C-alpha cells in the first residue's frame, strides 16, 4: 500500500474508523489541491523510500519520524482544529504526507503543522470542507438509512472523503440518489454519489445488514 487514506466509513450500518489504500507510483502525475498548496522545509530534501520484505514481496514503509508527525497532526486536526482539518494521506514512495485543510480557517493549524513536521516533508493542500462539517453530514445520512431504503435508494457505504471534497455515498441506484437526495438535503449538501454493489464482509467477524428488495 503506497498511499493510505484516513477517513470514516459506514458499511451497511457498521461504522469503521480507518482507511482504504490507493497505489501511487513515482511516475504518476502530481494531484494538486483545488486552489493551492504549500510545503514544509523538510520537502527540500530528497529521501529514499524504505521497504520491508514480507513473503517474498517488497513493501514500502512509512518512516517512524513521518508516521509520528502524521499521528500528531491527525489527532490535533480532529480534536483541536476540526473546522479546518479535512484529512491526510501518506505517499510512501515520495516519503511525505499530504494534509488537506480549509484555508480560510487554517492559520493556527498551519502553524501547528510547521512545528510538528520538524524535518519531515508535509504537503498542505486546500480543501472545500472540514472534518467537522463532513462528520455532521456523514452522521445525518447514516441516520436516514431506513428512510432511503423504503424510498428505493439502497445505501451501501458512506465515507467522508479524506481530501475534504465531500461525503461519498455508495448506492445501488445512483441515478435516483443523485435526483432525490439533493432535493431532500439541499443542493449545497456536500454529497458525492457513486455506484456501489452489495457489501461483502472482509472477515467472518463483520456483520453486514441484509438488503431487501421490497
Contact between residue 121 and residue 97 where contact means Cβ atoms under 8 Å apart: yes
Rounded distance, CA 2 to CA 22, Å?
Answer: 7
Is residue 70 scored above 90 in pLDDT?
A: yes
Query: pTM of the entire structure?
Result: 0.76
105 — pLDDT class (breaks 50, 70, 90): confident
Q: What is the pLDDT of residue 109?
A: 97
Task: Count Cα atoms within 13 angstroms, Cβ side, for 95.
Answer: 15
Q: Which residue has the higher pLDDT, 55 or 67?
A: 67
Contacts of 7 (CB under 8 A, 6+ apart): 18, 19, 20, 87, 159, 160, 161, 162
The pLDDT tens digits of the residues spanning 19-57 come to 333 333 333 344 444 458 999 999 999 899 999 888 888
Contacts of 29 (CB under 8 A, 6+ apart): none
State how beta strands 122-126 and 85-91 pair: unpaired
Stretch among 48-62, 83-97, 117-131 having the lowest mean pLDDT? 48-62
SS3 162: coil
Is residue 5 scored above 60 in pLDDT?
A: no
**Between 3.30.300, 1.25.40, 3.30.70, 1.10.3470, what CATH number should domain 38-126 receive?**
3.30.300
Q: What is the pLDDT of residue 170?
A: 94
Q: What is the pLDDT of residue 139?
A: 95
Q: Which three cell numbers stand for residue 202?
A: 472482509
147 membership: H or E segment, kind and range: helix 145-149
Rounded distance, CA 3 to CA 123, Å?
Answer: 14
In terms of C-beta density within 10 A (0-12 exposed, 13-18 middle, 19 or more buried), how is residue 178 classed? middle
State how beta strands 167-171 and 191-195 pair: parallel
Q: What is the pLDDT of residue 197?
A: 77
Q: What is the pLDDT of residue 17?
A: 25
Is residue 152 scored above 60 in pLDDT?
A: yes
Q: What is the pLDDT of residue 199?
A: 56
Q: What is the pLDDT of residue 53?
A: 86
Average model confidence (pLDDT) across the chain: 81
Is residue 117 scored above 80 in pLDDT?
A: yes
Amino acid at each position: 500500500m503506497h498511499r493510505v487514506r484516513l477517513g470514516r466509513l459506514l458499511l451497511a450500518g457498521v461504522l469503521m474508523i480507518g482507511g482504504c489504500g490507493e497505489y501511487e507510483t513515482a511516475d504518476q502525475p502530481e494531484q494538486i489541491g483545488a486552489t493551492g498548496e504549500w510545503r514544509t522545509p523538510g520537502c527540500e530534501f530528497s529521501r529514499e523510500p524504505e521497504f520491508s520484505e514480507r513473503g517474498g514481496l517488497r513493501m514500502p514503509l512509512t518512516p517512524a519520524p513521518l508516521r509520528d508527525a502524521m499521528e500528531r497532526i491527525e489527532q490535533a486536526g480532529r480534536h483541536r482544529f476540526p473546522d479546518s482539518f479535512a484529512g491526510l494521506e501518506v505517499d510512501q514512495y515520495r516519503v511525505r504526507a499530504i494534509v488537506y485543510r480549509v484555508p480560510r480557517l487554517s492559520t493556527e493549524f498551519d502553524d501547528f503543522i510547521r512545528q510538528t513536521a520538524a524535518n519531515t516533508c508535509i504537503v498542505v493542500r486546500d480543501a472545500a470542507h472540514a472534518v467537522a462539517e463532513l462528520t455532521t453530514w456523514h452522521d445525518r445520512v447514516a441516520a436516514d438509512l431506513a428512510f432511503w431504503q423504503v424510498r428505493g435508494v439502497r445505501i451501501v457505504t458512506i465515507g467522508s472523503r479524506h481530501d475534504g471534497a465531500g461525503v461519498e455515498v455508495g448506492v445501488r441506484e445512483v441515478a435516483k440518489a443523485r435526483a432525490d437526495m439533493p432535493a431532500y438535503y439541499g443542493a449545497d449538501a456536500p454529497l458525492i454519489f457513486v455506484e456501489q454493489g452489495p457489501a461483502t464482509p472482509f472477515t467472518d467477524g463483520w456483520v453486514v445488514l441484509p438488503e431487501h428488495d421490497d
